Amino acid sequence: MVDIHSIEGNLPEKFFVSGASVCMPCSELYYQVCAIAEVAGFLWQRGWAERNGGNISVCVTDCISSSYKDRNPLKTVALPLTHPLTTIIGEYYYVTGTNRRMRDVAVNPMGNGAIIRVCKDGKSYDIIADEVIMPTSELVSHLEMHDFEQSNGRKQIKAVCHTHPTQLVALSHNPEMLKPDVMTRLLWSMIPETRVIVPHGIGIVPYRQPGTIELAAATIEQLAGHDVVLWEKHGCLAVGEDILETFDAIDTLAKSADIYLDCCTAGFKPQGIAPDMLEGLVELFHLN
């Protein structure tokens, strides 16, 4: 969970919302949404969220007050699914809005995202707060991923973050990097922290059209063994216990990619950390 004490006291006035909002100041939901806004700002600052690039969803069911759980929806929307979601029926999510900029989410998260509830039929969702802001076009992928994680016993996974890290997308334009485990081994070998912070490596999804069922299915296949997935020539996606954890994983991988590309720019291929030394990190940090 987000450490609310690390956020409290550092919130600008613009984060405070009116009494009509589901996201009341000093509530647990408020701190969760502030963490989302913080990460949205990081993505923009890193140059990974051009215009409306990227999207975020976080399960906030435990943060919704009882008075809002029975609230009539502002709008109900059907999902273009081939089969119903079964595990996340009745769950609540904060989702960034379609065609909304991360730099705007950073300063006004409730004005650029919505709280939604998955309907009982598993094929639609209600927008319950604060405005009728349509969620990201990648919503199907996000909800499929949340459903997959929950149905496989990983109930601690609450957040999904998709963004466009320049360095990782650049590497995905090299066909050699898309071969099994090649990018994982390379990025692990650039700096020890990468092996520790991203212990399951990075899954690869060959190019699929954004926002499609095909992209969601291919991503879920990779999430069976990874917490971070690279969409070829598109971007990166991470799942985690909270939104800050997803950012940390992507940020660490991007740092490794930076090191590799900087070495190449300097005219040499980096030697990297030897495989036996990487295995030493597995034992030292008790990695799975």
Segment 120-132, tens digit of pLDDT: 999 999 999 889 9
> Of 164, 192, 214, which residue constitutes the final position of a domain?
164
Based on the fold, state whether residues 149 and 255 are members of the same structural domain: no
Residue 135 is classified by DSSP as B
Instruction: Read off the pLDDT band of 26 (50, 70, 90).
Output: low
Based on the fold, state whether residues 97 and 219 are members of the same structural domain: no
Based on the fold, state whether residues 151 and 83 are members of the same structural domain: yes
Please check whether residue 94 lies inside any domain of the structure: yes
- The Cα 157–Cα 211 span in angstroms is 21
CATH assignment of the domain containing 259: 3.40.225.10
Q: Does 61 have pLDDT greater than 70?
A: yes
Check residue 183 and give its pLDDT.
97
Check residue 20 and give its pLDDT.
61
Check residue 286 and give its pLDDT.
74
CA distances from 114 to 47, 73, 110, 214, 252 (A): 24, 12, 6, 25, 29
Based on the fold, state whether residues 56 and 78 are members of the same structural domain: yes
Based on the fold, state whether residues 275 and 182 are members of the same structural domain: yes
Based on the fold, state whether residues 15 and 52 are members of the same structural domain: yes
Check residue 16 and give its pLDDT.
44
Q: Which has the minimum average pLDDT: 8-17, 109-118, 182-191?
A: 8-17
Give the chain's domain count. Answer: 2
Please check whether residue 2 lies inside any domain of the structure: no
Please check whether residue 3 lies inside any domain of the structure: no
Contact between 211 and 138 under an 8 Å Cβ cutoff? The reply is yes
Q: What is the pLDDT of residues 110-121, one digit of tens each?
A: 999 999 999 999
Q: What is the pLDDT of residues 201-232, one digit of tens each?
A: 999 999 999 988 899 999 999 999 999 999 99
Of 283, 258, 260, the C-alpha closest to 195 is 283
Based on the fold, state whether residues 269 and 243 are members of the same structural domain: yes
Q: Does 161 have pLDDT greater than 50?
A: yes
Q: What is the mean predicted confidence (pLDDT) over 16-29?
A: 67
Please check whether residue 176 lies inside any domain of the structure: yes
> Of 137, 164, 191, which residue constitutes the final position of a domain?
164
Based on the fold, state whether residues 148 and 171 are members of the same structural domain: no
Q: Which has the minimum average pLDDT: 5-14, 18-27, 44-53, 276-285?
A: 5-14
Q: What is the pLDDT of residues 226-264, one digit of tens each?
A: 999 999 999 999 999 999 999 999 999 999 999 999 999
Q: Are strands 228-231 and 202-205 parallel, antiparallel or unpaired?
A: parallel
Q: Does 24 have pLDDT greater than 80?
A: no
**Mean model confidence pLDDT for the chain:** 90
- The pTM is what? 0.91
Q: How many CB atoms lie within 10 A of CB 240?
A: 21
Check residue 283 and give its pLDDT.
81
Q: Which of 38, 138, 144, 149 is catalytic?
A: 138
Name the residue type at position 187. Answer: L
Please check whether residue 1 lies inside any domain of the structure: no
Based on the fold, state whether residues 97 and 20 are members of the same structural domain: yes
Please check whether residue 4 lies inside any domain of the structure: no
Q: Please state, for a pLDDT cut of 70, what percent of the chain lies above it.
A: 92
The whole domain housing 92 covers 10-164
Based on the fold, state whether residues 25 and 137 are members of the same structural domain: yes
Based on the fold, state whether residues 20 and 61 are members of the same structural domain: yes
Check residue 10 and give its pLDDT.
47
Contact between 50 and 12 under an 8 Å Cβ cutoff? The reply is no
Q: Which of helix, strand or coil describes residue 160? A: strand
Based on the fold, state whether residues 16 and 51 are members of the same structural domain: yes
Q: What is the pLDDT of residues 124-157, one digit of tens each?
A: 999 998 899 999 999 999 999 999 999 999 999 9
- Spatial strand order of the sheet with 159-163 comes to 75-78, 124-129, 113-118, 92-96, 55-59, 159-163, 235-240, 228-231, 202-205
Is residue 279 annotated as part of the catalytic site, yes or no?
Answer: no
Contact between 232 and 210 under an 8 Å Cβ cutoff? The reply is no
Instruction: Read off the pLDDT band of 100 (50, 70, 90).
Output: very high
> Of 164, 195, 219, which residue constitutes the final position of a domain?
164
For the chain, the distance separating the N- and C-terminal CA atoms, rounded to the nearest angstrom, is: 22
Instruction: Read off the pLDDT band of 1 (50, 70, 90).
Output: very low
Q: Does 50 have pLDDT greater than 60?
A: yes
Q: What is the pLDDT of residues 64-95, one digit of tens each?
A: 988 788 889 999 999 988 889 999 999 999 99
Q: Does 8 have pLDDT greater than 90?
A: no
